[in-house]
Amino acid sequence: MATHIDIALVPVGAVDPVVMGWLKGDLPGILTAAVEEFPPVPLPPRHFHRERNQYLADGLLADFAKFVTSPTALVLGVTEADLFSLPMNFVFGIANRGRALISTFRLRPEFYGVPSNPEVYHLRVFTEAVHELGHAMGLAHCEFPGCVMYFSNWIGDTDRKGPKFCFRCGKRIERLAEVGWE
């Protein structure tokens, strides 16, 4: 890609610094991007739904508008909170133009009753980050199960697809990086 992309990496609430380090190191290799980590922002109580014990992802994502500063800048929020977006019971992440948010809550192997596995967890975080950033740049879901833009209905989909774009989605990302996505 010839065009430079800037990614503002924003921890939302308390986020493991190791996870933030993974993303700072991994994202430039897939998106040819400069990644800058911003100070954490608190989880706003107004987006917490006590009856679900989850945060409304759409509300958190809307709060990121202030971070988008140019047509080639993306914001990636990272939280350890459990997220939902109606009508879904949960989401691994959510995005709209220029903004993305991922939750690590359901990406940990321990959530599924299996032993901790840092390599699996790292790959899941990276895959979901790339997926949501793809949406933030304007990509839709892909029908190819091996593409990062394939919809993850469950964690097995995330594990199968991995963090790479298929040829077609990769070409779309190159075009979008050239022209911007606003």
Q: How far apart are CA 35 and CA 7, in angstroms?
A: 5
Structurally, at CATH architecture level, domain 5-176 sits in 3-Layer(aba) Sandwich (3.40)
C-alpha separations of 44 from 5, 36, 62, 80, 131 in Å = 28, 22, 12, 13, 24
What would the mean pLDDT of 157-169 be, rounded to a whole number? 96
User: Domain ranges in the chain?
Assistant: 5-176
| Catalytic (active site) residue 132 | yes
DSSP category for residue 1: -
- Which residues are CB-contacts of 11 (< 8 A; sequence separation ≥ 6)? 20, 37, 38, 39, 40, 41, 77, 78, 79
pTM for this structure? 0.94
Which is more confident, 2 or 95? 95
Catalytic residue among 132, 143, 178, 182: 132
The pLDDT mean for the chain works out to 92
pLDDT over 70 percentage in the chain: 93
